[in-house]
Amino acid sequence: MKKLDTINWGIIGVGDVTEVKSGPAFYKIKHSNLVAVMRRSAEKAADYAKRHNIPKWYSNGSDLINDSNVEAVYIATPPNSHASYAIEAMRAGKPVYVEKPMARNYAECRKMLKVSEETGMPIWVAYYRRALPAFLKAKELIEADEIGKPLMVNLKLYKQAEERNQTKEEMHWHVFPEISGAGHFFDLASHQFDYLDFVLGKVTDVKGNASNLAGLYPAEDTVSGTWKHESGVVGSGSWSFVIDKNSEKDEIEIIGEKGKITLPCFSSPGTLKLYSNGRETDIKLDNPEHISQNLVQQVVNELRGVGSCSSTGISAARTSWVLDEMVKNYYSNKLQ
């Protein structure tokens, strides 16, 4: 693939996630321009382009993909269209950066990887915790033997349900499996599992149980599971998205032979806690202005031939496999 000095990007799906988290990074980081955006609503696409000073807008994804000025495509739509847009872009000779999770399921991820291999077009996924300071610091401390050999990891994520006061029409697409693949678990736990893949290696064994206990929406709302990494580290986790406000919790706990590290996955900025040598140390590191920008810079660097991105389609597909395994009992039972 030809190396370029400056990458001209197009974004398919300029919804809320692109307003602050990701969109501005594409025109603020070095050697990157945002030249076109697309949203199915022409009015909203035009409004986004005007507010962000983007020269072109479209209401059709294929039109953006086939724009000769667009050299790489960021896909920020809901997961049910990730595969189709990514495959179309790669077949048009354009690298893609896709929102997480990579697709609705592992099978769709495999199709995307197959086309990437056939076309030679790379695919990256927006697991930006691989490039955030606190998460990199935790990895550095583990590799520096601050907690000794890692033994186990525990994940806890409990959130109250906004859906209790919403009609089905008001609910976010995250809770409709035909769009998202599953429920909030896929949206949020995907970040946690991808980070563990980054730090502890790929997961080789998974066992999970999922339930819908509150009956607010079609997807699962409560999940628990265990897994094992190729490094031998064992893990356990629990997730609930229908608990009381006072029971909310967000924690990654990595335990080693000599200590442990805890950090939140979603609190921003969060405090990393190191327990080592009988002492507790708090480390607070700020996130960049646009939380995706460090990872987007990695993508741009790789496209320019001066670096590499740590979040690939291959690693992201592994995470989707884990997610599928965790909830498969719930969805297989619903189909019986």
Average pLDDT, the chain: 96
Could you give phi then psi for residue 97, rounded to 5 degrees?
Answer: -120, 120
Give the model confidence (pLDDT) of 160-181 as tens digits: 999 999 999 999 999 999 999 9
Q: Is the pLDDT reported for residue 10 higher than 80? A: yes
Provide the pLDDT for residue 269. 67
7-128+291-305 maps to which CATH number?
3.40.50.720
Per the CB < 8 A criterion, the answer to whether 304 and 5 are in contact is yes
Give the model confidence (pLDDT) of 140-156 as tens digits: 999 999 999 999 999 99
Residue 43: Cβ-neighbour burial (10 angstroms; 0-12, 13-18, 19+): exposed
Residue 154: Cβ-neighbour burial (10 angstroms; 0-12, 13-18, 19+): middle
Provide the pLDDT for residue 336. 46
Helix %, strand %, coil % of the chain (to 5): 40, 25, 35
Which residue reads 């995250």 in tokens?
A: 174
Give the model confidence (pLDDT) of 246-291 as tens digits: 999 999 999 999 999 999 999 876 789 999 989 999 999 999 999 9
Give the model confidence (pLDDT) of 187-242 as tens digits: 999 999 999 999 999 999 999 999 999 999 999 999 999 999 999 999 999 999 99
Measured in whole angstroms, the distance separating CA 245 from the mean position of its chain's CA atoms is: 25
Q: CA-to-CA distance for 278 and 26, rounded, in angstroms?
A: 44
Give the model confidence (pLDDT) of 117-140 as tens digits: 999 999 999 999 999 999 999 999
Could you state, in order of their start, the residue ranges of all structural domains in the chain? 7-128+291-305, 133-287+320-335
CATH of the domain spanning 133-287+320-335, picked from 3.40.50.300, 3.30.360.10, 3.30.1330.10, 3.40.630.30: 3.30.360.10
Q: CA-to-CA distance for 240 and 53, rounded, in angstroms?
A: 40
7-128+291-305 and 133-287+320-335 share one fold: no
Provide the pLDDT for residue 5. 86
pLDDT-above-90 percentage for the chain: 94
